[in-house]
Amino acid sequence: MLGAMGEPTVGEGYALSNIDEMGEGYGFRKIRRALGVTAFGINAIVLPPGYDTGTHYHDEQEETYFVHQGWVAVHFGDGSEHMLGPGGVVRVDAQTHRGMRNAGEEPAVIVIAGGKDGYVGRDGQSVGGNPHEGPPGAA
């Protein structure tokens, strides 16, 4: 169960919310701030139909974009453009020029995670008698 409108539910060692609780209309939803994420950056962005974000790059931060809703054309500095629908994912190196455009007729929702300095590795530990192996194909 979520907290009051706009307020995440916070427990011992966790926080949860919904991007709809983090803002209204178009623009950014500050997931990192709302949930207290400290290990990496994470936001969502809601784009109106036809909106183009322009082009940007980062000095250090690699980013991964996940299309939650809608159709998004992702464009790169090499002149290529790729269409992603719901479930589409793209990873972009820090200094690669990139941008996106809502290519659909409905709002697009994209979740963006960014960070640097590498992957921690699989460090989960079982609590109790049944070790959790994850779904088939989990790495």
Query: Is residue 71 in a domain?
Result: yes
* Cα gap 54→70, rounded to integer Å: 18
The reply to whether 66 falls in a domain is: yes
In a domain, 55, yes or no: yes
User: For position 124, what pLDDT does the model report?
Assistant: 83
Q: The domain containing residue 95 runs over which residues?
A: 26-115
63-122 residue pLDDT tens: 999 999 999 999 999 999 999 999 999 999 999 999 999 999 999 999 999 999 888 788
Confidence (pTM): 0.84
Asked whether residue 110 is assigned to any structural domain, the reply reads yes
> For the domain that residue 79 is a member of, what is the CATH number?
2.60.120.10
Least confident of 41-55, 106-120, 122-136: 122-136
Residue 15 lies in a domain: no
- Asked if pLDDT for residue 3 goes beyond 50, the answer is no
Q: Does 19 map to a domain? A: no
Let me know if residue 2 belongs to a domain: no
The β-bridge partners of 62 are 115
Q: Determine, yes or no, domain membership for 131.
A: no
Which residues have C-beta within 8 Å of that of residue 115, sequence separation ≥ 6? 39, 40, 41, 61, 62
**Residue 82: other Cβ atoms inside 10 A:** 12
User: Which of 86, 92, 89 shows the shortest CA–CA distance to 116?
Assistant: 92
Instruction: Compute CA distances 13 → 31, 37, 39, 50, whole Å.
Output: 16, 11, 14, 40
Number of domains the chain contains: 1
